[in-house]
Amino acid sequence: MYILCPFRFIDAHVHPSQFDPTNSAAWIKYAELETQLADYSRARGIFELGVAQTPLSMPELLWKAYIDFEVEEGERARARALYERLASASGHWKVWVAYAMFEAQPIQLPRDEREDDDEDGDEGDEEREPKMVEGDLEQARQVFQKGYKDLKNKGLKNEVSRLTLLPKGRRDEKDFWSLMVSLAGSASRCYRYGSPSRSSTARQTTSPRWKA
């Protein structure tokens, strides 16, 4: 264990983030290590320590990794809380778009429920599709509206102009997804409307970078 993961022995060895606590990549790698060791609460703690650093180099990378971690854990409420914190701190329109996309997308069950489901299932059925919790398009629309009001109240005219195509009324699902893809700036960063594949669910990014 010592050879494979020396950074866990913090009393005897200094982990990378202590050399430069502003290094987002170091915090991400350290949290990934804990995730690989199935210590998810510790990984979450590492992410929290990381995003609390001031200043922080390329903070969008660390926030994105933290949000992706919670999404992969199936923790929608935790991921939502992170988006709220990030939107409040960054004031960038892309954060609001990513937040809305997150609300509309399905994610896997929370890890505890997945493990219980695996125990109840057939042992030889390793290739079955994971159970998903559907997203909520109405919730996504509300996020768009909230983002529009927030940016407008802050007087960020350039940012508000990005969200002037907010859906009015209840557009159909295809139009709504097309709008989100357009606002995100690149279809390759977004899910296409409809249900994503199992392989893409865990790996697809949920938040585009928000640097201008």
Q: How many structural domains are present in the chain?
A: 1
Q: Measured between alpha carbons, how far is residue 19 from residues 9, 13, 23, 27, 113 in Å? A: 15, 11, 9, 11, 38
**Has residue 99 been placed in a domain?**
yes
Side chain identity, residue 79: A
**Has residue 55 been placed in a domain?**
no
**Has residue 83 been placed in a domain?**
no
Q: Is the pTM of this model over 0.85?
A: no
Buried b / exposed e over 41-65, threshold 16 CB at 10 Å, is ebbbebbeebbebeebeebbebbbb
**Has residue 149 been placed in a domain?**
yes
pLDDT value, residue 114: 83
The 3 state secondary structure assigned to the chain is CCCCCHHHCCCCCCCHHHHCCCEHHHHHHHHHHHHHCCCHHHHHHHHHHHHCCCCCECHHHHHHHHHHHHHHCCCHHHHHHHHHHHHHHHCCHHHHHHHHHHHHCCEECCHHHHHHHHHHCCCCCCCCCCCEECCCHHHHHHHHHHHHHHHHHCCCHHHHHHCCCCCCCCCCHHHHHHHHHHHHCCHHHCCCCCCCCHHHHHHCCCCCCCCC
**Has residue 39 been placed in a domain?**
no
pLDDT value, residue 108: 93
> Which domain does 139 fall in, by range?
91-110+133-212
Query: What string of pLDDT tens digits covers the 212 residues of the chain?
Result: 333 344 454 433 445 545 688 999 999 999 999 999 999 999 999 999 999 998 888 999 999 999 999 999 999 999 999 999 999 988 788 898 899 989 989 999 998 888 776 666 555 555 677 889 999 988 988 998 888 888 888 887 777 776 665 555 445 556 666 666 665 553 334 433 333 333 343 334 344 445 54
pLDDT value, residue 211: 52
- Pair of tokens at residue 83: 């988006």
pLDDT value, residue 8: 56
**Has residue 140 been placed in a domain?**
yes
**Has residue 181 been placed in a domain?**
yes
**Has residue 71 been placed in a domain?**
no
